[in-house]
């Protein structure tokens, strides 16, 4: 059985004080949520404070990004994966669509970050997904397959437990178009097949694949009934404690 993961990506929102207020409100609302793993990804400046406040709870903390470098050095503005681990993070988001689109992160950079995360003992939540234009051109599967192969090449059998995939249908975020649970399931099943081809059937069966297409309290339950959807990477709906708690406590079939 693959234990679901509900992860909240706070992006560039919340001061340290606001972040603390949110998690202190969230903790009791999901204290009995043993059916899934809960992860929140605050800005770097709040990471250590939140990790300390959440110690002993059922909420884990993630970085939103990490450096490709695995050792200290003259890399102004970068944060190494081992530094995230030192600050209390257990996970890190890598290759998010915003990083790929706005900061020109390609598959080679994503691969190096995944390797840095794994070598530092973090679980890498690696994001993949096609744009509106790519879906309309009929090349969605080709794009996602390329991102999987490019980001995960060199992965060993020992690394499989440190990998979570998040599928972001970029075409369904802020475009007015929506992905149905069936469309999401179709791509999740494809991702699992591609992973099996590149690694092994056993690894693919245990791989957790999260859905990241504008998940909200009113659409999470139908998504979570799909056989290959193992959780959610939540954006805006994770910024408010009650909203995120409703997603974590989704109705289970």
What element of type H or E holds 208? strand 208-211
Residue 41 φ then ψ, to 5°: -120, 95
- Cα–Cα distance, 190 to 172 (Å, whole number): 18
Catalytic member of 98, 130, 168, 188: 168
Neighbours of 142 (CB within 10 A): 12
Active site residue 199: no
Active site residue 160: no
Catalytic member of 91, 96, 188, 199: 96
Q: Which residues contact 137 (CB under 8 A, 6 or more apart)?
A: none
- Cα–Cα distance, 165 to 227 (Å, whole number): 15
* Helix 44-53 × helix 16-29 angle, to 10°: 40
Active site residues: 96, 168
């Amino acid at each position: 059985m693959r234990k679901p993961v509900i992860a909240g990506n706070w992006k560039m929102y919340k001061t340290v004080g606001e972040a603390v207020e949110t998690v202190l409100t969230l903790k009791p609302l999901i204290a009995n949520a043993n059916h899934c793993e809960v992860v929140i990804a605050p800005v770097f400046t709040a990471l250590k404070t939140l990790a300390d406040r959440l110690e002993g709870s059922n909420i884990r903390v993630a970085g939103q990004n990490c450096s490709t470098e695995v050792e200290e050095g003259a890399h102004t503005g970068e944060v190494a994966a081992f530094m995230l681990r030192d600050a209390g993070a257990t996970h890190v988001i890598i290759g998010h669509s915003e990083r790929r689109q706005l900061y020109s992160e390609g598959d080679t950079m994503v691969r190096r970050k995944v390797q840095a995360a794994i070598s530092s003992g973090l679980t890498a939540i690696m994001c993949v997904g096609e744009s509106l234009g790519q879906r309309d051109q009929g090349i969605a599967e080709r794009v996602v397959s390329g991102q999987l192969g490019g980001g995960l090449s060199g992965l060993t059998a020992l690394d499989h437990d440190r990998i979570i995939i998040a599928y972001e249908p970029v075409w369904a975020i802020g475009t007015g178009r929506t992905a149905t649970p069936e469309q999401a399931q179709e791509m999740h099943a494809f991702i699992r097949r591609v992973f099996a081809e590149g690694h092994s059937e056993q690894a693919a069966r245990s791989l957790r694949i999260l859905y990241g297409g504008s998940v909200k309290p009113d659409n999470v339950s139908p998504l979570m009934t799909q056989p290959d959807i193992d959780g959610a990477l939540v954006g805006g709906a994770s910024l408010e404690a009650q909203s995120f708690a409703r997603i974590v406590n989704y109705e289970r079939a």
